[in-house]
Structure formats: structure tokens, C-alpha cells
Structure 1
């Protein structure tokens, strides 16, 4: 049993977090019950007024009058302009700090102005390249809804607001696209000990062109050469084609990895073609979970896919169409080094060629809200459904098999909140109609509506996840695990694996109305429950593991950094040789909503 802390923090996040905590403790509670404009406005500053002056400089309460705290259909604001012709498109780029896309009266204070002076504003051409409409086009409300979503998904923008205005006496409209930049430069340090550290430098909007670059240096004295490096470069969208590329390498400490890819998703309802190419060669360490040990693996990977979408419903000004998608994929992976294999041993390390075809039907509409995964920014809530069937042939080193896979997922905004449900299955049919390596997953997620206690916004989150395998082989990747990523946060043990896993997570989040340096705290309490073991006696023959705890996340949405998190937890039952994080200090990447766009053909992975 180990008392663990995890430290992997961005330097600027640490500074802002410390300042926020210090000022929160130092300032009197009654100060925070006042609006910023009522802090003070006197020519003579008394000593007792000094904390209020500090708060006015460093913090503000968010103006939530324009922010959609409650779920609303995103298409509503564009329907009155449906069928009109776009006369002119204007792009407005706002600096990261002290501005709002929905309230032009908000202006930065002195500290925010200084932060803006360090920022390179995004080029307007980047926004124009990501628009789904042009001057002279007829207004289709769904295009504008999906365009706001696409722009928010880019890492360079914090928020977006597209405003349409009628030209009096005509059938024309002017379009104003208002986007708010993020501060996209990041510097990070991950410290484990004086003998082991990591340094990172990233820029997600290189010279304002939307290009992403990141370099990481690793230091570990356990190796003969203690230094290793990693680099990544991304182009999200080439000249408005929505084709993006990614180039990646890592070298040292057992790694020699290079990969390159081009990809175009079904990014909008009217997207007709999608596809991708990926090539990778890698020598890398691989961790075997149930042995808690590493081996070295070496493989080559080739991946190609293409898809065509067909709209199967008539045009509707307020609903996205139903899309039917046919897609083909060829995937090849050749292992040069790995675990010892046979026909029924360590199938993950079998070299194979896979020929896949899929057929899918999907529909996705967007609601607008906030305080789901974000800390106050506008969030796009996808609702709709997706059905995708996949089949094909796999030719491995030992046999030829048919692949079978399916996915059914749906989400809806109900009177009591957001509900998401999905079911996925995958497996293989060997010669002689023998079913092998089957897996099924059932998942549900629920977010309550926002409740208010005073000026604190409260939301409840529940997640259920069940995974079961059947006719699995022996060896690596032929089991599921219960650990930090799949189950009990802060708990890991090589003994927590089996054929079936059941997880249930509860979390209640309290969003503070106060911002310090743009950082908003969100306090939370949680309870996690998990079972893992044999497929037939999961509930009766296996112990229930759980965790109960409290914590706080805080995030500045104007910064590219992930959320800063501090967490304390209690574990009633701890397995043998467990790695337990009773207290946890790190950063946390934002979770994302499941989308209902058809993706490349795939077989559900048992993990």
C-alpha cells in the first residue's frame, strides 16, 4: 500500500493556482458577495479597502447574462434568417483576456491587458478557412450551428458567436463571426524525483496560423543516456479543405517512433467524403498490466480508409439530416518484436492484414449550454443517434477470420437532464463458424440540470460502464482491468483484471461564481464503485472496490492549459500490491461528449 502524490503541472498554472488560493483565504467572505462594480469608487483609499482593490485588479465575477447555462436548441437563433442570401462576412478576432463574444461592453483590466500584449492574434484567414458558408450562399441554419461547434473545437479559440443581421428592404443578411482567442503558449514541468523529470514547451497557434507544435525533453538517470526527446506538429486544416495532418516522433529511453497521418472526418452534416492515411514505425516499451513489467516491442503500421455520405432525408431548416455512410478500410500491422505468439496465445501481437467495410446511419443536432465539462464557456451538446455495422476479413499470421462489429449510441436532452446510452460489440468468426474474441460494452452517462444554491451552480454526473468478454484467447490484451482510467480513480493494482468489468461513478460538482485571474474553481465530491473478475460470477464471487473523496478543479478557459486538480480520497478496500493515491495533485484534460458522426470502420477493442 503506497501513499502517492502525482505532480505534473504547468508552471503558469501553479503560479495562478497559488495566487488564487492565497487570495481566497486572505479576503473576507463578505467581499465575495459583491459585484465588481460595487467594490469601491472612492478617491481616498482606506486600509480596510485594500483587499477590495486587489480583488478588482485580479478578479471579476463572470457576467453570465449572455451565457446559456440551461440547455437550448442552438438552431433557434438562425431560423429567422433561413433562405436569405449572405451579403457580406465580417470576422472579428478578440484577444484572450478580458473580452466576451456575446457582450461588447466587457473590457480587460490592466493585468489582462498585459497578458494580451504577450499574445499573437489569430489570422482572420484561419477563421475564413473553417467556415461552411461563403458570401452569396443561401442561409441554412444547420450550417451555422455546426460551424460554431467546429470553431469551438479548435484549440485556438475559447468561444464563438456568429451574428446575422438583416439588410432593411432586402432579402440579404450580413454575417459577423466573432471569435475569442486562447492564450496558446504552454510551458510545463513534470517532477517525479531529482533523477526523473520532464520538460514541455507547446504552441497551439504558431504565429497566429492555427498550427500546433510541441516538444518534450525527458530526463531519467536510470538510462545510460539520461535525455530523450519527443516532438509533434499538426496542421488542423489545409486551405479550407478540412484535411489535417499530424507528424510525431519520439526517441530515447527505449523509444524510436515516427508516424505521419492525413485525415478528413465527417465534420458536418453536408460532408460527402472523408478518409485518412496513417503510416507508423515504432520501437517502444510496452507495459504488461497483470505482470507489472515492461517489454520492448517493434512494429510497422499502415492504415487507409475512405467513406461516402448520402443524405436520406429532405432539407429541413431546423433539423440536421439523416446521413447514410458507406466506408472502406485497409489496416496492416506487422510485429517485428513482441511477446511469444501462437494461434491462441497473445493475439494482440499477431501480424495481420484487415479488410473492413462499414454501413452507418446517423443524425446529430446541437444544444447549447455550459458547466458540463467546461468552467463557464459555451458548450455544444450533441443529441441524436448513430448506428454503425462493420464486417470484413482478417488475415493474420495463423488464420483467416471474418470480423463482425456493431455500435448503437444515442443521446437526448430530457426534462431532468442529459442522457447518453451506447452499446458496442465486436468479435471474429473463424473457419467452421467458430466465434472468437468477442467483446461487448454497455455505457450510460447522465448529467442533471443545473441547480443553484445561492450563486453556486451545481450539477450531478453519473456514469455506468459494463464490459464483458467471451471466447477470449490467452495472454496480453485478453483481459480487462480496473484502474484509474477504467474504474476507481486513484487506485491501481496488477491483481485487478478479469474477463468482465462493471463500473459506477458518481460526482457532484459545485461551480463557484468567483474568478481570480480568470481561474474558476469547481469543488466536487465523488464516489466510485467497481467490480472485475470472471464472466459468470462477477457480482457474487468478486470483491467490490470503491473510493470516496473530495477535490477541487480550477481552470482559466482563456489558457490552453488543462484544469488544475487537487483531490483527497478514502478507499475502504485495498487489494494486494496496490498503488493508491490518497491525495492527488496534477492537471486533468477535459473530457468530451460522444459525437454522432460516422467514423472509419473499426472493431470494438477489449480493454
Structure 2
């Protein structure tokens, strides 16, 4: 039985093979290609196939959950050279017809329309899922029937569909057989995720636990509900609850409305937001209105030889309004869409403090104006942050200047600047660099300033059979300038050392360097893909405007673990990591070794879209 369980746990799936070719004929069903499995993988599959043919309980179970004769799907459109002008020959043609094929969550593929659910669990999962309504998908498209096809409409629409939370993947193709010199027929293929999900935990020794539920596509309408409930806690109260409800793309306007409610021991929030982002390169207007009331406990500055953390309560009401407009430079090349955009925006933030832990918090109104220039485009690749799904890689250039003032108990001006760039090629990988600076100016003195520099590089995908390897390197430096005493940086978790947690290791200048290697394995069970993780983190920290973080030895963290992800479900990525920290603070009782889990990816892309005028963040 032990050997059966071992074989059952490492059931493998064939490699999803990526090959750069020209976009396929959209009128034909895309045929999958054969993939040669490694001998070790083939032996496992043969053993499982033989066991599934037996008339035993284990054999019947394997036959119900596994499919042995399904070939891997061929994925098209991943060649970076083809994406820039993938559909330029169809620019300004009239859209004659738009056909939408929306597929259920399990057993289907946007790259191979002949695939259907084969086993019991795929069919059962589809029966419990409500598919996304076609009208919701149609409202995401930037092109309409009986209208000219603008440049970038097809690839931008595909990207917007693919980045929707309740869709796993999307593909837009043109029917080349019926296409004429002045009109086109378009196919839109999408695949849902199983939008209902949740998680939980329970500790028998303390009787505490957590239950989280989420529905990302309520009744197929695209509404998103997230809840989190904790129980069995210590004083001051035994329970906590938080939740949010989001309605996106209201009336085909790309307006989204969200309500957030949090009732926790040390954090309470009631907020409402109505916003419209620069969702596409061609978007002209964006803006938002936000109303919120927040009460939270914040960590106060430590006193010399302090062995206990000191906290204070901060409570405030905030009203936030911003509006921005983008302008497209003129292009005299018919059929070529200029990627650059000039954006101007205004923002007003009004904050009224109800509870103040120190005298450094005064009621204020901040008025900001920004002007920026953005060039952005997207490539497609896989095995970046997901486990085989098509992912969009943003590249481009962004520059912006922000100026304004804050009026409260006194008057001070604000100035900020931001710049960033990113490049990507399949043979080199991805390189991103960005820097931002912002500071208030009072009576000629610069205060509450911050300089932030960040870089990210990941290599190309190295493949050996069904095994895939990619390396990541992240550098981040944050320098505070004349910050308030209660404004301090930490190196906890995503701020420096993953898995590290300390209340006393804080400062005003921080430099961190993070390395990670991801080994994507061919093993899968119930759609959960497995990847190995190896990481090494370094972080330097100092206090004071003139002190260098590099004068002392860095804090370090090393670890190894694995990551699980099911792309068909709304579950977050699950990571289990075993870590070691050679240096710890002397005034805290912490362990050198730690086992922890997280659902948050340590790396992410930075898009080149204009968001909103804002004050540089110090965190």
C-alpha cells in the first residue's frame, strides 16, 4: 500500500510544449503535438495505467481521476516577434461578426477545441460551476460589430480577458478563410476558472482557526466576494472578520465599485471605491472616488534598551478623488498605432484624524498634479509566476513628475519624480529598473522624503525534458529623508527577508537583495502542479539620515521548499518553505529555523500604466 500511495502522489502529466510559430488558421481546430516523455515519467504513467485497469478500489479510483491518453496541447502566439504587429493586416477593417466560445473550468482548452472532460472529477467540477455569461465577455472587448477595427484592439482585448480574475486563459483569432479586404470575422475563445474557493486552518492546542471563502464570479456575473473569519483568538476579542464585494465593468464602462469591511482586533475599516483605470493603451479617461474610515494600531518608536513593543491607536476619515486624461501623439503612418501616451492628472486627498498616537498627525488636505509619458506593450510567455498558463509581460518606459501642496496646521509643498523601464526577449529574459523620489518642502527644508530604487531580472526558461528552471534576482533600496520618528522600515517578509518577523529590527534606510530559483516539475495531481523553490535573501538596515546600511553585517535568510498551484481553481498559490536565519536581534526570543507557508508570490510585474498622482510611499 505504501508503494501505491507513493506512485499515486507523484502522478505526472506530459509536458506542455511551447513552440514559436505563426498564428494558426482560426477556422481550423488546433491539433495537439506529441511530446516525448522522459523514461522516469513514462514508467510512472505505465504503472498507474496498469493499476487503473485492475478491478480493485484503487484501480477504479485511478481510472476515475486520471486520463492517460490525453496529449499535451500546443500553445500558439508566444513568439515575441509576432506579438507587436500580430493583427496589423486587419487594421481598420469592418468587424462583420464576433463569435464567442466560453469553455467551462475543467477538461477544455483554448488552444485545442477538441478537448473535452474525460474523468469523473472534471465533469463533477463543471456541474458545480456557473459559466461566465457571454455578455460579460463581450463587454470586455474593445471592438464591436459593424465598426472599424482600431490598431491594437485585438491583442489588447485578449490581454484584458486573460487578466480577468475569473478567466484562466483567452485567445482571439481571425477567421482567415472568410476575411476579405474590407471586413473580418473574429473568434473569441475563453476558459473559466472554478471561481468558488476557500481555505482554512485550525490549531487544536489553542482552539483557534481561520476560515476564508471567496467567489470570483458570482452566478457568472463577474461579481467578486471575499471573506475571512478568525476565531478562538486571545484578548481583546476572540474573533475577527473582514470582507469585500467588487462589481467590475458596470454597464460596459469599465467602472468598478468595491465595498470593503474589516472588523479586527487591531484594524477596522469601512471603505467604498468607484474607479476606472487606464485598462488599455487606448483609454482616454481614468479616475476614482474613495471614501473610508480606518482605525488601526501602529508601532511606536522604540526607547533605548526597550524590550517590549509600544503601540498607539491611529484613527482617521479619508476622502480621495482623482481624474486623469491621456493624449495620443499624432501618427502619420496609417495602420501603425503609436504606443506612447502623454497623461495629465489631478488628485485631492482630505484626511481628518479622529485618534492621534503622537502630535505628528494633523488634519490636512493634499492637492497634487502629475504629468507623465508612458510607452507600454506586452509580450506573452509561460512559467513566470504561473504554472503553464499564458502570462502577459509588460515592457516599456514610464516617466512622471508630480507637484502639489499639503495644507493643514501649516503649509508645505510637495515634489516627486518617477521613472522606470523594462526589456524582454525570450533568449535573454526580463530586466526591469525603476526609481522614484518624493519629498515635502517646508520653509526650504526637505522633510518626509523617500528615495526608492528597484530592479528585477529573471532568466530565460531552461528546459530539460519535462523539467523547467528559471532564476529570479530582485534588488530594492529605500532611503528615508527626515522622516517622522514613528515612520520606520522593517525587513519582515516581502520587505526584505521572507519568513522573517521582528518588531525591533527597524530603521530609516534599507537595502535588500533576493535570489530565487524555481524548478517546475512535470508532476501533477488533481490539477495541482508542483514546483521546487530555493531562495537566499540579504537585507541591510540603518537608522539616521547620514548612516550607511552597509556599515553592519546584513541580516540573512536561506530556504528551500515547494510551491503548489492549481490554475483551474481560484485558490492562491500555496508555498511551504523551510528557512534559516543566521543573525537575529538579541532582545527577541526568535528561532534560527522556521517553517512557514504563504499564498503570496514574492515577485510581480510592474506595469507601465499611469495610476494616479500620489505621494511616494515609505514602507
The CA deviation at 1:319 is 5.2
The CA deviation at 1:137 is 2.3
Does the residue aligned with 1:575 lie in a helix, a strand or coil?
Answer: coil
Indicate yes or no: 2:349 matched with 1:331: yes
The CA deviation at 1:538 is 2.8
Pair 1:68–1:35, CA change in 2 (3 A): farther
The CA deviation at 1:306 is 0.6
Q: Report the equivalent of 1:153.
A: 163
Checking the alignment, whether the CA contact within 8 Å between 2:52 and 2:62 is kept in structure 1 is no
Does the residue aligned with 2:194 lie in a helix, a strand or coil?
Answer: coil
Q: Report the equivalent of 2:542.
A: 533
Q: Distance in 1 between matches of 2:575 and 2:56?
A: 33
Checking the alignment, whether the CA contact within 8 Å between 2:12 and 2:525 is kept in structure 1 is no
Q: Distance in 1 between matches of 2:184 and 2:398?
A: 34
Q: Report the equivalent of 2:9.
A: 24
Q: Distance in 1 between matches of 2:397 and 2:71?
A: 34
Indicate yes or no: 2:538 matched with 1:515: no
Q: Distance in 2 between matches of 1:176 and 1:20?
A: 44
Checking the alignment, whether the CA contact within 8 Å between 2:299 and 2:486 is kept in structure 1 is no
Q: Report the equivalent of 1:305.
A: 322
1:536-576 Cα offsets, whole Å, 9 max, x none, are: 44354222111122111010111111011111122222222
Q: Report the equivalent of 2:21.
A: none
Larger mean CA deviation between 294-303 and 372-381 belongs to: 294-303
Pair 1:59–1:538, CA change in 2 (3 A): farther
Q: Report the equivalent of 2:569.
A: 559
The CA deviation at 1:257 is 2.5
Checking the alignment, whether the CA contact within 8 Å between 1:156 and 1:204 is kept in structure 2 is yes
Pair 1:560–1:187, CA change in 2 (3 A): same
Q: Distance in 2 between matches of 1:20 and 1:423?
A: 51
The CA deviation at 1:128 is 1.1
Checking the alignment, whether the CA contact within 8 Å between 1:320 and 1:365 is kept in structure 2 is no
Larger mean CA deviation between 290-299 and 238-247 belongs to: 290-299
Q: Distance in 1 between matches of 2:122 and 2:206?
A: 35
Indicate yes or no: 2:442 matched with 1:430: yes
**Counterparts in 2 of 1:181-192, with a 5 A limit?**
181-191=192-202
Q: Report the equivalent of 2:512.
A: 503
Larger mean CA deviation between 64-73 and 538-547 belongs to: 64-73
Q: Distance in 2 between matches of 1:436 and 1:91?
A: 55
Checking the alignment, whether the CA contact within 8 Å between 1:531 and 1:538 is kept in structure 2 is no
Which residue of the other structure, out of 127, 130, 147, is the alignment partner of 1:137?
147
Pair 1:233–1:139, CA change in 2 (3 A): same
Does the residue aligned with 1:177 lie in a helix, a strand or coil?
Answer: strand
Checking the alignment, whether the CA contact within 8 Å between 1:334 and 1:352 is kept in structure 2 is yes
Q: Distance in 2 between matches of 1:168 and 1:72?
A: 23
1:156-186 Cα offsets, whole Å, 9 max, x none, are: 1010001111325552211111110011111
Which structure has more relative contact order (CA 8 Å, sep 6+)? It is: 1
Larger mean CA deviation between 250-259 and 199-208 belongs to: 250-259
Pair 1:250–1:224, CA change in 2 (3 A): same
Indicate yes or no: 2:131 matched with 1:121: yes
1:124-172 Cα offsets, whole Å, 9 max, x none, are: 1111111111012222341222212211221110100011113255522
Q: Distance in 2 between matches of 1:481 and 1:514?
A: 37
Larger mean CA deviation between 369-378 and 349-358 belongs to: 349-358
Does the residue aligned with 1:297 lie in a helix, a strand or coil?
Answer: strand
Does the residue aligned with 2:599 lie in a helix, a strand or coil?
Answer: strand
The CA deviation at 1:318 is 5.6
Q: Distance in 2 between matches of 1:274 and 1:448?
A: 34
Q: CA RMSD in A?
A: 3.0
Q: Distance in 2 between matches of 1:552 and 1:71?
A: 30
- Mark the runs of 5 or more structure 1 residues left unpaired by the alignment: 1-18
Q: Report the equivalent of 1:416.
A: 428
**Counterparts in 2 of 1:334-349, with a 5 A limit?**
334-341=352-359, 346=360, 349=361
